[in-house]
Amino acid sequence: MVWPPPLELMRLVAPVSWRPPHVSSAGGQATAERATEPFVIALDGPAASGKSSVGLGTARELGFRYFDTGLLYRMLTWLALELEVDTSDAERLAELVDHLDIDMDPMGRVFRGKADLTEQLQQPAVDAAVSEVSAHPRVRDALRPAQRALIHPPGLVMAGRDIGTVIVPEAPLKIWLSASPEERARRRARQTGEPFERVLEGMRRRDQLDASRDAAPMARALDAVVVDTTGVAPEDVIKRIVDLARSRGASSLKNRV
């Protein structure tokens, strides 16, 4: 089993860009695209539950775009740390949203301008601060409009922690991915090179913070399908979600790509 996915999986997913609302240049094309109702898969779950692997693979199979909203909070956290902005200062953090932009290439790497930040966004300093940054209601309000603006036909797999409950509650398919804390810690430790026990402790702490925050706490939507990825091959999880999506109408949209 491979968690996270091999690069050949990422290579087949369309690149995605994110800009603050006032920078968007979609114009009339976006209006025309809206004539076809996009199919959204809301993919929620805790850190390292497999959202990136499963989201990328599902998007590939259905011909959809993929976007991990956690990248926005990680990018904002990274930017705050770089500029020495206090991560408890919600107003200042919200102002930084106007200076936030992301490009994800077909290989799944994340850029700000020409700088490749893929590895930096997964480092311990960002891990330690991202829950506090994402807990601010002012920050979440600032990011919400642009997250919804990413929804275009034929469809989008959007990953996060509150997609099915807050960002796209009308999504026709909501998935809650889970895995044991130990399994998730092993995956993250392979990414960062940190000791397993330290990662496990940090992951448990973050789970508690994410689930107890006042603004959009991490929670499973009542109508979400629960999928436990512990000990399950990524391709098997992807197949199950693709089958669910097609049973709810996503297959007809793929034919329009």
At the top level of CATH, which class does the domain 7-247 belong to? alpha beta
Instruction: List, for residues 33-68, the tens digit of each pLDDT value.
Output: 444 789 999 999 998 899 988 998 999 999 999 988
| Strand 173-178 to 225-228 pairing | parallel
Least confident of 66-70, 84-88, 211-215: 211-215
Would you say 213 and 219 are in contact if contact means Cβ atoms under 8 Å apart? Answer: no
CB atoms within 10 A of CB 223: 10
pLDDT at 127: 87
Give the DSSP letter string of 158-177. EEESSIIIII-TT-SEEEEE
Sheet bearing 155-160, strands edge to edge = 65-68, 155-160, 39-44, 173-178, 225-228
* Residue 122 CB-half CA count within 13 A: 18
What integer is the mean pLDDT of 71-98?
A: 94
Highest mean pLDDT among 27-41, 64-78, 95-109, 166-180: 166-180
Instruction: List, for residues 130-183, the tens digit of each pLDDT value.
Output: 989 998 999 999 999 878 988 989 999 999 989 999 999 999 999 999 999 999
Q: Looking at per-residue confidence, does 21 or 204 come out higher?
A: 204
Task: Give me the residue label for tokens 């590895």.
Answer: 119
pLDDT at 20: 67
Q: Give residue limits of the domains in the chain.
A: 7-247
Would you say 93 and 76 are in contact if contact means Cβ atoms under 8 Å apart? Answer: yes
* Residue 109 CB-half CA count within 13 A: 11
pLDDT at 12: 41
- Per-residue b or e along 180-192, where b marks 16 or more CB atoms closer than 10 Å to that residue's CB: ebebbbbbbbeee
pLDDT at 10: 40
Q: Which two structure tokens, joined as six digits, stand for 231?
A: 């000990």
For residues 204, 208, 209, 213, the Cα torsion angle rounded to the nearest 10 degrees is 160
